[in-house]
Amino acid sequence: TKYVYFFGNGKAEGKGDMKNLLGGKGANLAEMTAIGLPVPPGFTITTEVCTEFYKNNRNYPAELKGQVAEQLRQVEELMGRKFGDSGNPLLVSVRSGARASMPGMMDTVLNLGLNDQTVQGVIAKSGDPRFAYDSYRRFIQMYSNVVLNLDGDILEDILEHMKEQRGVRNDTELSADDLKQLVSLFKTRVKEELGREFPEDPQEQLWGAIGAVFGSWMNPRAITYRKLNNIPAEWGTAVNVQSMVYGNMGDDCATGVAFTRNPSTGEKVFFGEFLVNAQGEDVVAGIRTPQPINKAGGDGSLPSMEEVMPACYGQLMQIQDTLERHYRDMQDIEFTIEKSKLYMLQTRNGKRTARAAMKIAVDMVKEGLISDREAVLRVAPEQLDQLLHPSLDPKAPKNVIAKGLPASPGAACGEVVFSADEAEEAAKIGLKVILVRVETSPEDIHGMHAAQGILTARGGMTSHAAVVARGMGKCCVSGCGDIKVEYAGQRFTARNGVVVSKGDIVTLDGSTGEVMLGSVPTVQPELTGDFGQIMEWVDKYRRMKVRTNADTPHDSKVARQFGAEGIGLCRTEHMFFEGERIMAVREMILAADLEGRKRALGKILPMQKGDFIGIFREMKGLPVTIRLLDPPLHEFLPHTDKEIEELSKVMNVQAATLKNKVEFLHEFNPMLGHRGCRLGITFPEIYDMQVQAIMEAACELIKEEGFQIVPEIMIPLVGEVKELGILKASAIRVADEVIGRYGVEVKYLIGTMIELPRAALTADEIAREAEFFSFGTNDLTQTTYGLSRDDAGKFLPYYVEREIYPNDPFVALDQAGVGQLVKMGCEKGRQTRPEIKLGICGEHGGEASSVIFCHKIGLDYVSCSPYRVPIARLAAAHAAI
CB of 176 to Mg ion, least distance (A): 29
Pairing of strands 514-517, 399-403: antiparallel
Hey, which bits of 277-398 come out as E strands? 291-292, 331-338, 341-349, 391-392
CA distance 697 to 142: 72
Whichever of 479 and 776 has its CB closer to Mg ion, that residue is 776
| Interior/surface letters 571-606, b for 16+ CB within 10 angstroms, e for the rest | bbbebbeeeebebbbbbbbbbeeeeebeebbeebbe
205 contact, one of ligand ADP, Mg ion, none, CB 5-8 Å limit per kind: none
Whichever of 209 and 841 has its CB closer to ligand ADP, that residue is 209
Whichever of 345 and 584 has its CB closer to Mg ion, that residue is 345
CA distance 327 to 498: 48
Question: DSSP assignment of 183-247, as one string?
Answer: HHHHHHHHHHHHSSPPP--HHHHHHHHHHHHHHHTTSHHHHHHHHHTT--GGG-EEEEEEE---S
Angle between helices 594-619 and 684-705 (to 10 degrees): 40
447 contact, one of Mg ion, ligand ADP, none, CB 5-8 Å limit per kind: none
Angle between helices 848-856 and 381-388 (to 10 degrees): 130
CB of 372 to Mg ion, least distance (A): 32
Whichever of 181 and 778 has its CB closer to Mg ion, that residue is 778
CA distance 477 to 407: 5
Output DSSP code: residue 652.
Answer: T
Whichever of 12 and 629 has its CB closer to ligand ADP, that residue is 12
User: CB neighbours (10 Å) of residue 329?
Assistant: 20
- Residue 36: left (phi > 0), alpha (psi -120 to 50), or beta? left
Binding footprint of Mg ion on the chain (CB under 5 A): 334, 346, 755, 776, 779
User: CB neighbours (10 Å) of residue 705?
Assistant: 11
CB of 39 to ligand ADP, least distance (A): 9
Contact predicate 104/448, CB 8 Å? no
Question: Active site residue: 841, 854, 864, 878, which one?
Answer: 841
Contact predicate 447/386, CB 8 Å? no
Residue from 101, 105, 133 nearest 19 by CA: 101
Question: Across the strands, what pairs with 455?
Answer: 436, 477
Whichever of 701 and 841 has its CB closer to Mg ion, that residue is 841
CA distance 138 to 113: 12
776 contact, one of Mg ion, ligand ADP, none, CB 5-8 Å limit per kind: Mg ion
Coil, strand or helix at 473: coil
Question: Active site residue: 464, 844, 855, 878, which one?
Answer: 464
CB of 112 to Mg ion, least distance (A): 16
Hey, which bits of 584-710 come out as E strands? 624-627
CA distance 248 to 250: 6
Residue with nearest beta carbon to Mg ion:
779
The H helix count followed by the E strand count for the chain is 35, 34
Output DSSP code: residue 770.
Answer: -
Whichever of 145 and 815 has its CB closer to ligand ADP, that residue is 145
CB of 33 to ligand ADP, least distance (A): 13
CB of 481 to ligand ADP, least distance (A): 24
Contact predicate 473/386, CB 8 Å? yes
855 is catalytic: no
CB of 720 to ligand ADP, least distance (A): 58
Contact predicate 122/116, CB 8 Å? no
Whichever of 242 and 533 has its CB closer to ligand ADP, that residue is 242
Contact predicate 271/297, CB 8 Å? yes
826 is catalytic: no
779 contact, one of Mg ion, ligand ADP, none, CB 5-8 Å limit per kind: Mg ion
Q: What are phi and psi of 829, to 5 degrees?
A: -60, -45
CA distance 185 to 133: 13
CA distance 823 to 838: 11
Whichever of 712 and 779 has its CB closer to Mg ion, that residue is 779
Whichever of 85 and 685 has its CB closer to ligand ADP, that residue is 85
CB of 379 to ligand ADP, least distance (A): 25
Q: How far is CA 179 from CA 159, 171, 245, 818, in A?
A: 9, 9, 20, 63
CA distance 635 to 420: 38
Binding footprint of ligand ADP on the chain (CB under 6 A): 40, 93, 95, 104, 108, 110, 242, 244-245, 255, 280-281, 334, 336, 345-346
Whichever of 334 and 688 has its CB closer to ligand ADP, that residue is 334
471 contact, one of Mg ion, ligand ADP, none, CB 5-8 Å limit per kind: none
Radius of gyration of the chain (CA): 33
Q: Which amino acid is at 556?
A: S
CB of 88 to ligand ADP, least distance (A): 17
Q: Which amino acid is at 598?
A: K
Provide the greatest CA pair distance for the chain: 105
CB of 615 to ligand ADP, least distance (A): 52
Contact predicate 420/446, CB 8 Å? yes
CB of 776 to Mg ion, least distance (A): 4
Contact predicate 21/13, CB 8 Å? no
Whichever of 334 and 618 has its CB closer to ligand ADP, that residue is 334
Whichever of 8 and 776 has its CB closer to ligand ADP, that residue is 8
755 contact, one of ligand ADP, Mg ion, none, CB 5-8 Å limit per kind: Mg ion
CB of 281 to ligand ADP, least distance (A): 5
Contact predicate 671/782, CB 8 Å? yes
242 contact, one of Mg ion, ligand ADP, none, CB 5-8 Å limit per kind: ligand ADP
HSE, CB side, 13 Å, CA atoms: give it for residue 713: 27
Pairing of strands 514-517, 505-509: antiparallel
Q: How far is CA 260 from CA 268, 303, 857, in A?
A: 7, 20, 40
CB of 630 to Mg ion, least distance (A): 6
Q: Which residues are part of the catalytic machinery? A: 464, 841
